[in-house]
Chain A
Amino acid sequence: MYLFSAQNVTKKYAAHTALNNVSIDVPEQSIFGLLGPNGAGKTSLIRIINQITAPDEGALFFNGEKLSLKHVSKIGYLPEERGLYKKMKVGEQALYLAQLKGTSKQDALKKLKNWFEKFDIISWWDRKVEELSKGMQQKVQFIITILHEPTLLIFDEPFSGFDPINVNLLKEEILNLRDKGATIIFSTHNMSSVEELCDNIALINKSNKILDGKVHEIKNTYKANIFEVGYTGLDDDINKILPNGFDIINQTTTNGIKHAEIKIPIDSNSNYLLNSLLPHISIVYFSEILPTMNDIFIQKVNEQNTIINTQNI
């Protein structure tokens, strides 16, 4: 069951195409990563999901229904560029923004008090936003985003501007929200920051979706059969004990432990490699090196660019 899906969405601004026939499916109660470099079209897609702008073509579905204004109260959005009314008091402002999302005043007040107590910031209630530090403002804004208990949460570059302690607090809260039933969309160009959190991803480059699927499936597809072995007890070059067809890609030594990255040929496997190594060395660890999303992304983008370039010639 998909909580949200966009089908063949196209958005053009005069001569510039921001999104070209992009489709995504976000499963319920999962974390979805919308990845891509700056200017790829992520923010355009997020604005379309938030109904800030409308697509030129394509269809959008929320919980199986056509996306409409009644879904606004079910969506929480933390934009990349965050800000609040500087002259307004924290509590008053949070109340106002919650009411704009359709929460009743009493309800919003009760929930706000709970969250403010949880984050231990109840003393900020009557302070003006401009008196708070940037990190404090971000906390307030996070609470405002999730206060109306949206089923779909959209975070655009969520961790930029937070210090490491608050990043952890945020990650924890986000996982908590997912466990309670919320579905989360992350949009970021910093792929390593969300890789470990995401269940599914879509890669967008130059207005086109170039890759999507479950994170572990993608990684498996793109793995290069490289294993890393950490060992001691061999003074000689490890190359001399490797079977034919196996290549050393990288070698380092740290704290007396030697590390080697070995590429296994297609007609062989890791067990065979281990068997050939075991008589000669004592193994500290042995693991497969999966490509990072970053690596996959760069590979895909280069592929796409080559195709475009070839077409142009």
Chain B
Amino acid sequence: MKKILLIIKREYLSRVKKKSFIIMTILGPVLMASIWIIPFFIATMSDEKKVVAVVDETGIFHDKFQATDKIFFVYQLDLDKAKEDLKTDKFTAVLYIQKPTYSIPTDALLFYSDKSPGIVTQSYISNEMQTILKNNLLVNAHNISKEDFDLINRTNIKLNTEDIRTGEKSYTEIKTGLGIFSGILIYFFIFLFGSQVMRGVIEEKTSRIVEVIISSVKPFQLMMGKIVGVAMVGLTQFALWIILTMSIVTTLQASFPNIFNGHKTEQTYTAGQKIPTADQIQLEKLQKEEITQVIQGLFSVNYVAMIGAFLFYFLGGYLLYASLFAAIGSAVDNEADTQQFMMPITIPLLFSIIMSQFVINNPDGPVAFWLSIIPLTSPIIMMVRIPFGVPIIQVVLSMSLLVIGFIASTWLAGKIYRTGILMYGKKVSYAEVWKWLRYKG
């Protein structure tokens, strides 16, 4: 027992002290925080004002484009003159809408001089054109009031679901997101740290130190020491990532509050509207509610259960697969030879990721049930299901089977490992590994 602690300590320290670990630990949260922060920065940074000259031959769009704080519209009659002005940088772009051959225009041409207008500007213009065109058709041709038109434009049915026993709303989208995210995270962690175990075993085997070590400790102790040591590295990295990401985000939020609060949903409503009708107020309320619902949805998730389940399924899944990774490492002489043995590991994990799409659609169906019970797929599939609420009996069953699963896989891997680490210079096949499994002592 004392020796296995020594091994765990070495495996842990030698990895934690590595430059790559420190770099990953710092880079991970920076990357995660930037995914969160960069969109806000981009939004504030591109404050260059754009002036678009509209040359409208149809007359439908004249004076109808809604300006934003970034994009302004001026209306010109002469295309050639507008193009000349574009060359002298008077405008950012010239929008030319030709008189259509048939009833309504279906395309337009945007001229630019040296800089191509961004995708945001382009999609804003095309959205505006569509709205204006629809407006023109409905209001003018069918005599619908402008208020009604705005209402039509903004109709959007949100289906809320509620548990009649608990009164809890289900927030499906948020749960889907969380489920898929934690499933992928488990998949990623199993591969990342599992292959670290495998490389560690190959290193010991190729450097031949393994024979010295197993004259002091049992091969199984060495294997378990390595697996546990790497698991602790994984948990350390995970904890550091969460702490660092959270501190980066909070620090930035505190230092630049206007960036995060300045761009709320104000522009969702038409600025040109003078007195909002009762319906419009109702609409605005609904939109605000949508945001609060996202927040409520995020709060409705039982995070203690989520994190608890995540840690359990990460550790269980990792232990199940890491011992197999160790067995593979023991059977080969270098990393290039691992390919042929990776199949039994890759297939169930990849299968879980693919199946999680189906599971999300029907989190209580038989496919979801069976895949979250079978130990090879349960770490990923159960994590996908957890945000939707899983009957406790199924969780207990799945967890117990996972424990039995990793004990079985560790036992099996241990048998392969103790023979494999002493085999040098031999190209190993599945048949050979099968023979090792039947060796005594």
Contact = CB atoms under 8 A, between A and B. Distances in A.
B14 A88 contact: yes
Contacts of A88: 14
Contacts of A55: 441
Interface of A is mostly: loop
A82 B211 CA distance: 8
A116 B211 CA distance: 23
Q: Which of B10, B211, B438 has most A Cβ within 10 Å? A: B211
A160 to B, nearest CB: 13
A83 B207 contact: yes
A84 B206 CA distance: 10
B390 to A, nearest CB: 44
Given A54-B440, A82-B208, A84-B207, A96 B10 contact: yes
A272 interface: no
A77 interface: yes
A79 B211 contact: yes
A313 interface: no
Contacts of B207: 83-86
Nearest to A53: B441
Interface in A165-219: none
B441 A100 contact: no
A81 interface: yes
Q: Which of A54, A83, A101 has most B Cβ within 10 Å? A: A83
A81 B209 CA distance: 8
Contact of A84 (B14, B209, B217): B209
Nearest to B18: A87
A97 B207 CA distance: 15
Contacts of A52: 211, 214-215, 219, 422
Q: Which of A13, A82, A85, A102 has most B Cβ within 10 Å? A: A85
B215 to A, nearest CB: 4
A72 B215 contact: yes
Interface in A16-68: 47, 50-56
Contacts of B439: 13-14
A54 B422 CA distance: 14
A14 B6 contact: no
A81 B211 contact: yes
A264 interface: no
B424 interface: yes
B14 A79 contact: no
A139 to B, nearest CB: 15
A48 to B, nearest CB: 10
A56 B14 contact: no
A160 B208 CA distance: 15
A102 B217 CA distance: 10
Given A47-B422, A75-B215, A87-B14, A100 B6 contact: yes
Contacts of B214: 52
Q: Which of B14, B209, B213 has most A Cβ within 10 Å? A: B209
12 contacts: A50-B215, A51-B215, A52-B215, A77-B211, A83-B208, A85-B203, A85-B207, A86-B203, A88-B14, A96-B10, A97-B212, A100-B213
- Across the A-B interface, the 8 shortest Cβ-Cβ residue pairs: A83-B208, A54-B441, A83-B207, A81-B208, A100-B216, A50-B215, A79-B211, A77-B215
Interface of A: 13-14, 47, 50-56, 72, 75, 77, 79, 81-88, 96-97, 99-102, 141, 144-145
Given A56-B440, A85-B209, 13 more contacts: A14-B435, A14-B439, A47-B422, A50-B215, A52-B219, A52-B422, A53-B422, A53-B441, A83-B212, A85-B14, A87-B14, A100-B216, A145-B212
